[in-house]
Amino acid sequence: MIGVGASSFERNPERSVLQMAGDALVRALADAELEKDAIDGLIVQIGSPRGADYDTIAQTFGLNPRFCSQTWAHGRFTATVIAQAAMAVTCGLASRIACILAMKNSDIGRIGEADNPFFHEQFRENGGPHAEEGAIGMTSPVAGAALAFDLYCRRYEKDRELLAEIPLTFRRHARLNPDAVARHPLSLEDYRAARSVVEPLRLLDCSLIGDGAVCVIVAACGTSPAGRPSIALTGMQGVQAGRETFIFAPRGLGIAQQSSRRLTLAEARAQPVYAMAGARPESIDVLGVYDSFSPLPLYAFEDFGFCEAGEGLDWIQNGRIGLGGELPTNTNGGQLSHAQINGWGQLRELVLQLRGEAGDRQVAGARTAMWVSCCGDALIFERG
């Protein structure tokens, strides 16, 4: 990952998503010390109607990619976009690929509302992309997240209030990040007093709307600007699907058509990303995790072997996932406090952490970073 750039992150319905994408691209090019003409590949996550599609981006900015790709208009494909770029470089389809997420949500309301362009997806055949079923009133992604978390707390007999550690920790991180949309202090009292959205989840369990763009330039190892540590992608695995998966749950929780068989710790530690990278959960110095709802990191910690299935709520306590803790996680503030851009804020943060450029949030001596989500996708990076 030879260059990274971002727009500002804010809620500004008047700003064009192309302005954000352009800012991110220009800054990533400057960071990689490249001219625009050097870009011969383009991969976009989140196109229209929340972002700009690959054709618009190339035409508008005067790029001439010979390899283009784009994933659908939702999240989940963060790791997959980077994996595609790595494969395209390795196969010789392109040599320097701009991977771009640019997204504006502030002008379209919340998913689930009638004036949101995704309203009709909840009537998608065999269920919406977040298990929505509009005909029974099950609208908006938050309901599936609430069901899974309720089921999780019942299965493991855990107090849901333990969850506060996740939004509170990520907010403390965001307070150190000048880029974050939400930087005001958040107390346990604030968290407990937040209004319920779909019980048992509250407003502060949901990521906040924030518009912005990130661009990451992927190229062959050894092509970073002189004098800068290279950030090598050493392990990757893609999004998983099927009857054993549920968008907002760990494998085998027993929601939808899943079995009730969770991964054992040994199985979770044997996820292919670790073998590919020659790493173990203990090797990870800094973690980025998908957190559009605050329970989701728990499932990723468990399914990737940082702790046993059902232990997540206890495991995260006492500063373990905060700066200075055993596994500093979402040091940029995550989707919960930095901006809801599907994990690209975390991806950029991991690059900055490995380069030693994370300012007040720097994890001392960070050499190995990991991106992980409860959808099963993961990336591991090493500082060269």
Name the site residues for other proteins (rule: CB under 8 A).
110, 112-117, 119-120, 123-127, 131, 133-140, 143, 146-147, 150-151, 154, 195-201, 243, 254-257
**Kindly report the CA angle at 62 between 56 and 63, in degrees rounded to 5?**
85
Distance between CA 376 and CA 303 in Å, rounded? 8
Residue type, position 116, single letter: N
Rounded Cα gap, residues 194 and 201, in angstroms: 10
Q: How far is the CB of 293 from other proteins (least distance, A)?
A: 12
Q: Is 359 helix (H, G, I), strand (E, B) or coil?
A: helix
**Nearer residue to other proteins within complex by CB, 80 or 340:** 340
Question: Residue 114 or 226: which CB sits closer to other proteins?
Answer: 114
CB nearer to other proteins: pick between 135 and 266: 135
Nearer to other proteins, 38 or 151 (CB): 151
- Least Å distance, CB 199 to other proteins, is 4
Q: Minimal distance in Å, beta carbon 250 to other proteins?
A: 15
Choose among 19, 18, 59, 23: nearest CA to 42.
Answer: 59
Tokens for 107, please give them: 């002008």
In the bound complex, what is the minimum distance in angstroms from residue 257's beta carbon to other proteins? Answer: 6
Residue 258, CB-side half-sphere exposure with 13 Å CA sphere: 20
Residue with Cβ nearer other proteins (212 or 310): 310
Q: Does residue 369 contact residue 287 with C-beta atoms inside 8 Å? A: yes
Residues 6+ apart with CB under 8 A from 183: 174, 175, 177, 337
- Minimum separation from the CB atom of position 196 to other proteins (A): 4
143/350 with CB nearer other proteins: 143
The structure tokens listed for 136 are 């029974």
Least distance to other proteins, CB of residue 365, Å? 43
- The set of residues, in sequence order, having a beta carbon less than 8 Å from that of 189 and lying 6+ positions away, is none
Residue whose entry in the numeric block shows the structure tokens 């993961």? 378
